[in-house]
Chains A and B, each alone.
Chain A
């Protein structure tokens, strides 16, 4: 066991949160939070720099006994499937702090503590190699997120927070029973690497598959358990939306990749068509819902449902292109949708409205803002040259390889996204100046640019040169696929 880099990555925001308790002034709180997230970001860059793309094995592993009587360990590690998410979490952590710099006016300290606690727990989810540890982090995230939505959210925040909490809790609790069943079926261990090697009977796999599906589907969210998402997104403060869309939604898909596929390969193969169907449904249904929205935030929220449909479509295509595409697409979605929520937040801070009908001609008033908005809008609809193009193309080609019909439906969804995104951009940016604040509206300032620029850089980097990102994913995905195909069919 070498240098505990992963522990350090998790403990940095956790310690930061503890330090914030003792600070008095709001500005000190803001700067400290920013500093902590930047240090954490730097650490994840170190992690990626030291990441060995040639192996599918877990790297930077650590293990210490935690509850030996039950075989629970504090075990961490990353492979190609989780490495990018660790980085994404840290990146969006810094962006969230910047995004809430002035947007959060009351109880700044408590907010930043929640934000940092959230970050530590999300990093814990992506690095845990012990099922119990994974579950603890997964579930504990509910507390800070509940507070972020419920205390600092919009008008209907209390209802939205409660709905978010109960949906995810109900899903997770079934997952918990699944975890305990898996513990006994897998020879009384919570070690995920050991559990991935178990060949469980098909009947058990089926039950576990659906127990896990409930939890993961709520987080993704898949249709029909998606209804908490628009409420949560609309009411959450900007930073909350960024974290929700950027990282939290990835956890469900990550759960499929980490648990359903390797641990329940036979059930995964058996139910893959069903999952493809639900994914295709989500793509189209989310697209139509987005088309009908007048509220900017709701539009982005529903588009997330559609985009996450692509992710699950790629996963259950169960071929290399589909899987790689969906992991890359998760990363892309985190960047792009995180940015879009940031943009919604920026304009809302200035005009105090999110109704698309009240905007218009923003390009004349805030040219820099609209230029970047154009970039992220194009990225969201997967224009060639942007990040989402690469991901979506891979997913679609994977989907066509798996099932022609669902591939065709997904294409329809992609067209829909062009319709609602271009429509939104036209109404907001072009035409006569209709915006409430009128010509006095400020364009983005330096601090806001600091949050926007790195996201924009990733949009273009992944779009133009995706190789380094795909390299990280590639080996692990290939290995995962071989495992699923061989162990799933051999029984």
Chain B
């Protein structure tokens, strides 16, 4: 290995190196900083992410494979990395005041988020089952800890414990699948697998291996039948962490799923039926279970399950349009989900938890502007035009119908009508009930900035989807 090659490899992974190094420095800085100066950590964390984003942007020009085929920088990875950056920066902005209120304003919180970010970045770029595994574990280990960050709260501890145990099981399954793949094909590289799969006749053992790999990945995106942890973990985790988890790790999971599935497993076509079934059942379960929730965070957890189901249908559609539809969906989902979570985070003040749906009764009367933003995010999640959420669903439908999956498209839209009900129910509480007490939302400048940015994305992509659509289409790998 020459110095030039090493230089190329380091260059390709520069954003990851920036984030990891930045996190390490912040970890030390955090010990030196005095009380009352925590905001320095926040801004330093934001700066780290911005530097990484800049590096990513500069590297985006060409495809750079690195580390002997375990890692690649292509437009696909770059697109996902920007979704992660967006989610992370917005989470930082949201956390400042919330962390004070909850008493978790210590530097480790931000450092863990940064490490988690680096894990996701590795996932987006990984082209080998082992590098995928490394990224995956780096990401989830941090989120395990973040989930239990409200140390005094019982349900936070419980959620973290549940998450760790179930997560470990899924990791075990994933690794077992990887070992089977290695035993059968002699490689863990994705393109090597592709060659092995497409070369000979289909091996039932390989199918089994694939099922295990799938199970491990599907756990991370909270699809049925590995969804049970999700509502409890979402409810128990600090709301800012929930916001982060419902967007970034989910997008990372889909990045890996797209790479693994659409690359080597095209030949193993039986898998498609399983994936389509997972998608439909996930949507159905998420939509119907959300109907009966009284806790807003739990409702959003089920809603995110339903959305994951819809996105899986984009994976089923496959092809460049299918991949682009998944990517666009995740980008739009990041905006609208972080937007609605920003509202929930903001409501956490004084004796308000922002978690019980009745807490929002009459919100429109006291804060018409904020209520309108909520209305926007909720209708976007429900997929009503002219919001971005509509375009996200629309493009998945286009991809599905293009591949001839009309029946799946019909099922998908009918289930989104069910899902619309529970979003509308929240709108109803906000607009059509009388306020029970006065509101005092924690509306700091950084929360305002988050709301403004997410609202701009939610309405902007809805009205002018052309640019974002082209971005997703040109970022599809291999094209």
Contact = CB atoms under 8 A, between A and B. Distances in A.
Interface of A: 65-70, 107, 110, 135-136, 139-140, 142-143, 146-147, 150-151, 157-158, 161-162, 165-166, 169-170, 173-174, 176-177, 180-181, 183-184
Contacts of A139: 384-385, 390
Given A150-B432, A162-B428, A140 B385 contact: yes
Interface in B277-298: none
A366 to B, nearest CB: 34
Contact of B384 (A65, A140, A158, A166): A140
A337 B335 CA distance: 43
Which of A65, A70, A142, A150: most chain B CB closer than 10 A? Answer: A70
A170 B383 CA distance: 12
B410 interface: yes
B427 to A, nearest CB: 8
B401 A173 contact: no
B476 to A, nearest CB: 12
A35 B414 CA distance: 41
B137 to A, nearest CB: 38
A158 B427 CA distance: 11
A385 to B, nearest CB: 44
Interface string B214-248: 00000000000000000000000000000000000
Given A140-B386, A173-B413, 5 more contacts: A69-B470, A69-B473, A136-B385, A166-B420, A180-B401
Given A67-B465, A158-B432, A181-B406, A176 B420 contact: no
Given A136-B385, A143-B379, A180 B465 contact: no
B398 interface: yes
Contacts of A70: 395, 398, 469
A44 to B, nearest CB: 23
Contacts of A176: 394, 397, 413
B90 interface: no
Which of A142, A165, A166, A177: most chain B CB closer than 10 A? Answer: A177
B149 to A, nearest CB: 37
Contacts of A150: 428, 431-432
A423 B247 CA distance: 61
Contacts of B401: 177, 180-181, 183-184
Nearest to A65: B466
Contacts of B409: 177, 180
B414 A146 contact: no
Which of B390, B425, B432: most chain A CB closer than 10 A? Answer: B432
A68 B466 contact: yes
Contact of B413 (A67, A69, A177): A177
A65 B469 CA distance: 14
Contacts of A110: 364, 368
Q: Ordered nearest first, which 7 A-B pairs have the shortest CB separation?
A: A173-B413, A136-B385, A170-B417, A67-B466, A180-B401, A139-B385, A140-B385
A165 B416 CA distance: 13
A174 B416 CA distance: 11
A69 B410 contact: no
Interface of B: 364-365, 368, 375, 379, 384-386, 390, 394-395, 397-398, 401-402, 406, 409-410, 413-414, 416-417, 420-421, 424-425, 427-428, 431-432, 465-466, 469-470, 473
A180 B385 contact: no
Given A140-B386, A143-B379, A158 B413 contact: no
B420 A169 contact: yes
B363 to A, nearest CB: 13
21 contacts: A65-B466, A66-B466, A67-B465, A69-B470, A69-B473, A70-B398, A107-B365, A110-B364, A140-B384, A143-B384, A147-B431, A151-B364, A151-B431, A158-B428, A162-B428, A165-B420, A166-B417, A173-B414, A174-B414, A177-B413, A184-B402
Nearest to A139: B385
Contacts of A180: 394, 397-398, 401, 409
A69 B432 contact: no
Contacts of A166: 417, 420-421, 424
Nearest to B398: A180
A198 to B, nearest CB: 16
A161 B428 CA distance: 9
A174 B413 contact: yes
A211 to B, nearest CB: 8
Contact of A151 (B384, B385, B432): B432
B447 to A, nearest CB: 21
A172 B352 CA distance: 38
Nearest to B425: A162
Given A142-B384, A150-B431, A174 B410 contact: yes
B319 to A, nearest CB: 13
Contacts of A143: 375, 379, 384
Nearest to B365: A107
Contacts of B432: 150-151, 157-158, 161
A135 B384 CA distance: 10
A135 B390 CA distance: 11
A151 B386 CA distance: 21
Nearest to B462: A136
A136 B386 CA distance: 6
A184 B397 CA distance: 12
B309 to A, nearest CB: 16
Contacts of B385: 135-136, 139-140
Nearest to A135: B385
Contacts of B428: 150, 158, 161-162
Nearest to B368: A110
Contacts of A158: 428, 432
B424 A67 contact: no
A140 B380 CA distance: 11
B371 to A, nearest CB: 10
A147 B368 CA distance: 13
A205 to B, nearest CB: 14
Contact of A162 (B368, B414, B424): B424
Contacts of B417: 166, 169-170, 173
A183 B424 contact: no
A139 B380 CA distance: 12
A150 B429 CA distance: 11
B469 A177 contact: no
Contacts of B420: 165-166, 169
Contacts of B364: 110, 151
A170 B409 CA distance: 13
Nearest to B401: A180
Contacts of A147: 431
A166 B431 CA distance: 17
A460 B416 CA distance: 47
A177 B385 CA distance: 15
B384 A177 contact: no
A70 B394 CA distance: 11
A177 B409 CA distance: 7
Nearest to A207: B406
Contacts of B410: 174, 177
A68 B468 CA distance: 12
A169 B413 CA distance: 10
Contacts of A170: 414, 417
Contacts of A162: 421, 424-425, 428
B202 to A, nearest CB: 31
A177 B406 contact: yes
Nearest to B420: A169
A408 to B, nearest CB: 38
